[in-house]
Structure 1
């Protein structure tokens, strides 16, 4: 946060959600906001945004199965991930739900299927299916996802990069200005990467989750996240970085036109993780959405 330094990492606790060991981080207080991270991320991705909202909107963020400190699922699909998040929210009660990238696609399903658990929805560069995916950094990796031995090759590659290289690669692909990420936050990401790389399932969980996401690109019609987006009945905010290299910002207007009650915020000079690059701006937009919901 400008002038104050990075927010401290939220305390973590381990719990079981739908029978799966899951790590959850909370700002303190009864959670009013629930956060769902993207592919390869963790609850740490929400540290600064959640700290800005926490004074009157306490937050909770989970590590999706197979990431951070959470155990993997037996079977991966977008629907299975949505079921996991839904089970978590059922214990929290209705919340303002926020998702980024993969977490954005997951929360689209959650909000469409269980509007009783969602007060408002904020989607930050959600990984919605799009045409010509090979023109994005995300799509160029797709042909390798189903090759035999992909998880083993990925594990070797990650081991060679180590936590420092993995963190650097992630920051460079997700942000427009890696130098804007404070050293303390980078150190926290690096430590999380080291813990995740030590888990026996990290590469397999990544590959299977990536395949589950890519499968949505091949599923038009009723099973597509786009069909779920059209059924969302809660007030929604879509935030996109204009310089997103993973999921193109051109999807923002389309998504805003698909969700019945939606607002769109496109940020110049921002990449795939607006909550990391511009937490104050995103926090202000979420507050405006929550205030509008309360007034209504």
Structure 2
């Protein structure tokens, strides 16, 4: 896999390359789970150009990244501008917390060719709905994994917690596949701790695209990040497209790959580039 690091240690790994000038930069959620969580998404979308897996320094398996500060979290999330600057026609695709990091980096607005927000939210109020969901649908395995992690906060126990949460993350008929996906991820507790202390509860988008082509992909069955927060006038406009994935959960491309593929293909055709002239 072709890979390189930006000056401050953002890792960019090439997953697919097709004819075309666009660069799709896939940024994972979590945090701490790594861009490996988006491999299936990268494989589902059929878009022109290159598809890159992006990891912030200190996230997932991108530890000891060349060029990264001693404390890599000091450059989160603003270092994302380095990834955008590394390619000619960047389209950032942020999943869950990754999308929130993007909306916390206003410098990106003038750098991007497009923006895709997947299973994410415009502010931290999604957490209240999530907490209520966990009370309504308790998982004893999650409770046990939480206790184990609190007693011994290792990356292994963090992985156990993530795997135990699969019934919240995936539609019932895809839970086993979801467990397999979550079990093979790299986990990074330092990234989780940084985001919990410095970002998660205080997050609010500090920019919104006024003209930049933007796609919001929402799983109709997403129980992790409520998608109702997008249903306000501020997040509408001629540059914004909504793709509601019926039957999709937090990783909607797992349950409904065809719908997700179609949403990305339509968005790619709408982008004003040499590859994809504006739709008429």
When normalised by structure 2's length, the TM-score is 0.74
How big is the alpha-carbon RMSD for the aligned residues of Structure 1 and Structure 2? Answer: 3.5
- Report if aligned partners of 1:125, 1:272 keep a CA contact under 8 Å in 2: yes
Counterpart of 2:216 in structure 1 is 238
Equivalent residue pairs, number: 255
1:214 to 192, 196, 200: 200
Structure 2 counterpart SS, 1:129: coil
- Report if aligned partners of 1:137, 1:246 keep a CA contact under 8 Å in 2: no
Counterpart of 1:156 in structure 2 is 152
When normalised by structure 1's length, the TM-score is 0.71
- Cα deviation for residue 240 of structure 1 reads 1.1
1:289 to 241, 249, 267: 267
> In 2, distance between residues paired with 1:155 and 1:98?
35
- Report if aligned partners of 2:28, 2:98 keep a CA contact under 8 Å in 1: yes
- Report if aligned partners of 2:48, 2:268 keep a CA contact under 8 Å in 1: no
Structure 1 counterpart SS, 2:38: helix
1:35 to 26, 29, 32: 26
Q: Output one character per residue of 1:48-95: Cα deviation in whole Å (capped at 9) or x when no partner.
A: 222233573320011233332112872647xx4332221012112222
Structure 1 counterpart SS, 2:243: strand
Tell me if 1:135 matches 2:129. Answer: yes
> In 2, distance between residues paired with 1:101 and 1:57?
24
- Report if aligned partners of 1:44, 1:189 keep a CA contact under 8 Å in 2: no
- Report if aligned partners of 1:123, 1:238 keep a CA contact under 8 Å in 2: yes
- Report if aligned partners of 2:169, 2:251 keep a CA contact under 8 Å in 1: yes
Q: Structure 2 unaligned runs (5+)?
A: 136-145
- Cα deviation for residue 246 of structure 1 reads 2.1
Counterpart of 2:185 in structure 1 is 192
Q: 1:255 to 1:113 in 2, by over 3 A?
A: farther
- Cα deviation for residue 39 of structure 1 reads 1.3
Q: 1:75 to 1:211 in 2, by over 3 A?
A: farther
Counterpart of 1:84 in structure 2 is 79
Higher helix share: 1
